[in-house]
Amino acid sequence: METLSLYVDRDSPVHRVDPISKLLYILAATAIPIILPSLLTAAVVLAISVALLLLGRIFRRVIPLISVIVFVLLTILIIQGLFRAGNVTPLFQLGSLIFYREGLLYAVRISLRVINIMLAFAILILTTKPSDLFETLVRKGLSPRIGYVLSSVLQIIPQMQNTVGTITDAQRSRGMETEGSLAVRLRAFIPLIGPVVMSSLTQTRERSIALEVRGFSAKGKKSFLNEEIQEPYHRFIRWGLLLSIILALVWRVAA
């Protein structure tokens, strides 16, 4: 079954960590390099993230994600290196273009922050089943309605894509041109919209009826089939992460 989930099923210590700790890691990996804006801090967080990705045996899955933002980061490096206000110390020259130390350092700092945030999110998304994540959030007080929307969208969107495929096939079987130049594809897209929207609305209404008759609107307290796994080390990780953020704040204020 096709889903939009990026979860990679592995048996690793990182996979076994609870979703709340991983969410806290995202907070720490984002906040600490901002609170302590030295390159060393960003590099340490980066090293920890890479270590966690290797420990979770998912490092190779992250490479395509990083390659997506490489172009943006290169752009930041070039523009800041060349034109940042306050650029005074030339570092190297490419033809007539002079790259400055201040701008490049700033760009590296920004790039490391972006990569750190991305890797921290990757640790969460690649090592946590979406259903476990949303169930944990509902346990912690997220509205079950929002939890349902978030968890169902990952499965229902691929189903809608299948519906689009079926309708396209039906139209093609009646002689409509759906492949070829961009103009042909655009012409084929317009008659597709009506049936897709109508069938999606019908399916949504039917599904909401199915949810109603299964007590989705019940006002009582929900329970969960899956037990909440609370290992002692989960608490240790959470407190450790919170403490590291507090220590970074204290360091910043004291410095």
**Residue ranges binding another protein (CB under 8 A):** 1, 3, 129, 131, 148, 151-152, 155-156, 159, 203, 206-207, 209-227
Query: In the complex, what is the shortest distance from the CB of residue 152 to another protein, in angstroms, rounded to a whole number?
Result: 4
Cα separation, 240 vs 246, in Å, equals 10
3-state SS track over the chain: CCCCCCCCCCCCHHHHCCHHHHHHHHHHHHHHHHHCCCHHHHHHHHHHHHHHHHHCCCHHHHHHHHHHHHHHHHHHHHHHHHHCCCCCCEEEEECCEEEEHHHHHHHHHHHHHHHHHHHHHHHHHHHCCHHHHHHHHHHCCCCHHHHHHHHHHHHHHHHHHHHHHHHHHHHHHCCCCCCCCHHHHHHHHHHHHHHHHHHHHHHHHHHHHHHHCCCCCCCCCCCCCCCCCCCHHHHHHHHHHHHHHHHHHHHHHHC
Closest approach, Cβ 20 to another protein, in A, equals 20
Cβ proximity to another protein: between 87 and 151 the closer is 151
Nearer to another protein, 102 or 132 (CB): 132
Minimum separation from the CB atom of position 102 to another protein (A): 50
| Closer residue to another protein (CB): 94 or 146 | 146
**Closer by beta carbon to another protein, 3 or else 30:** 3
CB of 92 to another protein, least distance (A): 53
Shortest spacing between CB 43 and another protein, in angstroms = 38
Between 80 and 151, name the residue whose CB sits nearer to another protein.
151
Nearer to another protein, 38 or 226 (CB): 226
What distance in Å separates the CA atoms of residue 116 and residue 119, rounded to the nearest whole number?
5
Q: Residue 105 CB, nearest distance to another protein (Å)?
A: 46
